[in-house]
A = this chain, B = another copy of it.
Amino acid sequence: MGAKTIAVLTSGGDAPGMNAAVRAVVRSAISFGMNVYGVMRGYNGLLNGDVKEMNMRSVSDIMQHGGTALFTARSPEFNTPEGVKKAADFCREKGIEGVVVVGGDGSFRGARDLCGAGISCIGVPGTIDNDIACTDYTIGYDTALNTAMEMIDRIRDTTESHDRCSVVEVMGRRCGDIALNTGIAVGAMATLVPEVPYDFERDIVERMKAAQRTGKRHYIIVVAEGVGHTQELTERIQAATGIESRATVLGHVQRGGSPTLRDRVVASRMGYHAVELLNNGASNRVVAMKGEQIVDFDITEALNMPRIFDENLYRVSARLSI
């Protein structure tokens, strides 16, 4: 009763581990006796017919590489009712009954629309920001965390040698998870996230002065992208404390790199689960991780869930940082 021919695409910002998800979709599909297409450059590939039939060897030796071997791109045309219909027609023409979409919330809205046009779709959460409400974990998150941490470990060397304060901006526009976890892992004096307002005097200046009294001479402050004003904040800190302060914006480096084990393994499990869902005739589902379990939700419900910030972890982080 499930799909006999499926396709897989990556959409939105790329994330390390997307290749492991694609590989798992292709290999699982073949092991279930399905045909499987790779769709190039997100939904665009369904609009301009840029797909290729995949076999066991098509996905060899891609898992260890960052980025996505299927490429990704925005698709303004697909964001119209005509675009969705055109994509669905293309799928029917090719015999594609199910599509696995690896991406973020925006990509899942596309998947929901494509379901509405008669093609079974399964979403797989792939984005470094961990900003998808229904899942504890998104593919790419662990690699981005480790990249940010390793870069701040390097910055710490020079910060410490010069008795300075370094203010480091990490990714996370709406979601402070990268900042919070990286902050704990590098022993940041303070961590600023979009979910929690901060008081400059109490949360930064007074903490630095208290630490200084215990003998501390160098400081790391981690700021999520969504908090912003990193350069300005840095100057303010230097003015208020007299400690030489420098800003660094880590930027796109955080998106790339060979995926960590966790990203490869979770992506493999999620890709497998997505195909199992299609094989069982499911549609309009998004794969998610809860604790160590792989589960799934209705896409529309998932898109409406509120994201919950881990306030408790935030409080622990404050205890450890002075």
Contacts and interface: CB of A to CB of B under 8 A. Distances in A.
A142 B66 contact: no
A157 B272 contact: no
Interface in A1-36: 10, 13-14, 16, 23-24, 27-28, 31
Interface in A108-162: 136, 142, 145-147, 149, 151, 153-162
A249 B249 contact: yes
Given A157-B66, A216-B60, A261-B182, A320 B268 contact: yes
A154 B255 contact: yes
A14 to B, nearest CB: 4
Nearest to A149: B261
A261 B155 contact: no
A208 to B, nearest CB: 13
Contact of A158 (B14, B28, B269, B316): B14
A320 B257 contact: no
Interface stretch (A67-75, A77-85, A91-99, A296-304): A67-75
A199 interface: no
A172 interface: no
B66 A146 contact: no
Contact of A67 (B10, B158, B272): B158
Contacts of A41: 163
A204 interface: no
Contact of A187 (B63, B181, B254, B255): B63
Nearest to A181: B265
A57 B319 contact: no
Contacts of A313: 269
A139 to B, nearest CB: 13
Nearest to A41: B163
Interface stretch (A45-53, A190-198, A287-295): A287-295
B67 A161 contact: yes
Contacts of A236: none
Contacts of A185: 63, 261, 264-265, 268
A22 B313 CA distance: 18
Contact of A161 (B14, B166, B216): B14
A174 interface: no
Closest 4 CB pairs of A and B: A291-B291, A154-B256, A157-B256, A66-B157
